[in-house]
Amino acid sequence: MTRTIDLVADLGEGFGPWRMGDDAALLDILTSANVACGFHAGDPRIMDQTVRGCAQRRVGIGAHPSFPDLQGFGRRDMGLTAEEVRTDVLYQFGALQAIAAFHGAKVTHLAPHGRLGNLVAVREDYADAVATAARRLDPELIVLAQDGRLAEAARAAGLRVGIVGIADRAYEDDGTLVRRTEPGAVIRDPEEIQRRTVRMVVDGVIESRNGVPIPVACDTVLVHGDTAGAVALAQRIRDGLEAAGVVIAPLADWLE
């Protein structure tokens, strides 16, 4: 049986004249994009440019909402209530959906960013807030998440869930990500990243930082667009997967 996988990166993460990563080059490799919606990065012009690029290349468009933490790039816990999380997600999704509609496209998935993305995996109130918002926004929406509370809440709400495997991040023995503040949290060796990604997709296994094999049934592989050499790395990952017989396609085209 042929394995199909989506290849996604976080894009549009600049602000004003400042840009992060080569989004245009990445869009020629990816099948989906998580687009920053203004709270941790992005602004109306960058969002418009990124969505236009996605629409031209038939790359799946995803909302990438975060805590309102522009200075901290969405990587700090803001101590928000679940109600604040819900309304912040709605606000950010609405902005991106308006731009997508202008370009004759739509937002097909939602992927919380940074610290919000970490917390929805373990906090039931945050997970329920995001899943409720997603369900009311669009019952056809796909929620991208790691295994955890958000995936459970989204499935309970009748939404499709795309499990994310992260190509360049180290995992703990319990399947959670190693905190970025710890040594070795981000893997730098392109050959090692390619090897781990192919094994994760083909065999459904990834090794923790302690060498423990962890079962992973991922639907999409996340490449960080702000990593040095991200374009070459994304191409290497795609080449490795295709050489292993994996079909690369947008998540919305095949996820049941």
Q: What is the pLDDT of residues 182-206, one digit of tens each?
A: 888 889 899 999 999 999 999 999 9
- Closest to 165 in 3D by CA, of 205, 218, 113: 218
Q: Are strands 4-11 and 247-248 parallel, antiparallel or unpaired?
A: parallel
CA 32 from centroid of its chain's CA atoms: 9
Residue 185: CB atoms within 10 A of its CB come to: 15
Model confidence pLDDT, tens digit, residues 214-256? 998 899 999 887 777 889 999 999 999 999 999 999 999 999 8
Query: Residue 186 corresponds to which tokens in the numbers above?
Result: 């981000």
Q: What is the pTM of this model?
A: 0.93
- Closest to 8 in 3D by CA, of 55, 47, 61, 50: 61
What is the rounded average pLDDT of the residues 152-169?
94
- At CB < 8 A and 24+ separation, what contacts does 51-57 make? 51/96, 51/99, 51/100, 51/103, 51/105, 52/103, 53/23, 53/24, 53/27, 54/27, 54/105, 55/100, 55/103, 55/104, 55/105, 57/27, 57/28
- At CB < 8 A and 24+ separation, what contacts does 173-178 make? 173/208, 173/210, 173/212, 173/214, 175/146, 175/147, 175/208, 175/214, 175/216, 176/121, 176/146, 177/118, 177/146, 178/209
DSSP letter at 186 equals B
Alpha carbons 27 and 9: distance in angstroms, whole number: 9
The DSSP bridge partners found for residue 45 are none
Model confidence pLDDT, tens digit, residues 60-97? 999 999 999 999 999 999 999 999 999 999 999 999 99
